[in-house]
Amino acid sequence: MHIEFLVEEPSMEMALKILVPKIVGPQHTFCIHNFHGKKKLLKQLAKRMQAYANFLPDDWRIVILVDRDNDDCRQLKQQLCIATQVLITRKGEVVLHRIAIEELEAWFLGDIPAIRIEFPKIPAKLDKRQKFRDPDAIKGGTWETLDKLLKDYGYQGLVKTQFAQQIAPHIAIDNNRSTSFQHFRDGLKMLINQS
């Protein structure tokens, strides 16, 4: 099977290049299309789905991944569903919509041991602290939280693409505490098992 990923920014692209093979295995191919902005992705999505509807091979699947940011999750999901309806109508259930809550950095905060491999000064029991128990519920932005955390422990602030490249290889696919990561992982497995 071949999977086309549509993502909003470079750090998502970097992370997925490493995480996707860990989730689906080496027998599946994939291509990541980085739209360099969520607004740009959402604006171009319906046209892109129309194009896919005209040629999508039977063994291809589409995965759309965006950050929730400050958007209403239900409205964002509805926007994705409306934009992809033409493809689903013509080809069936070939599209997976996923939203990183609140941002991709929650996926990294869902695996503190992975972060500690590259940044060992970060406390081992950070995930036991109230604020970090549920990475998807962190208030005030997960990237801002991660940036502050790194600086508090003497590291350079967060450089998103570099951080994604450093941490994604260490992410434990089956032990991540981020619910949005779990939904992404499980949805992707379900999508490839449809073949």
- Domain spans in the chain, listed from the N-terminal domain onward: 2-103+178-192, 105-170
DSSP class of residue 84? H
Cis peptide before 102 (omega within 30 of 0): yes
Per-residue confidence (pLDDT) for residue 7, from 0 to 100: 98
**What distance in Å separates the CA atoms of residue 155 and residue 167, rounded to the nearest whole number?**
15
**Which pair of tokens denotes residue 125?**
């029991």
Q: Is pLDDT of 68 > 80?
A: yes
Percent of the chain with pLDDT over 70: 99
- CA distances 167 to 11, 19, 86, Å, are 11, 10, 37
Write down the pTM of the prediction.
Answer: 0.94
Q: Which CATH number fits domain 2-103+178-192: 2.40.128, 3.40.50, 3.90.1010, 1.10.8?
A: 3.40.50
- H helices present in 56-141, as ranges: 73-91, 105-109, 112-118, 130-133
Q: How does pLDDT run across 113-146, given as a tens digit for each residue?
A: 999 999 999 999 999 999 999 999 998 889 999 9
Q: How does pLDDT run across 78-111, given as a tens digit for each residue?
A: 999 999 998 888 888 899 999 999 899 999 999 9
Percent of the chain with pLDDT over 90: 91
Q: How confident is the model at residue 194 (pLDDT cuts 50, 70, 90)?
A: confident
Main-chain phi, psi angles of 85, to 5 degrees: -60, -40
**What distance in Å separates the CA atoms of residue 78 and residue 110, rounded to the nearest whole number?**
26
Lowest mean pLDDT, pick from 15-24, 32-41, 61-70, 86-95: 86-95
3-state secondary structure of 97: strand
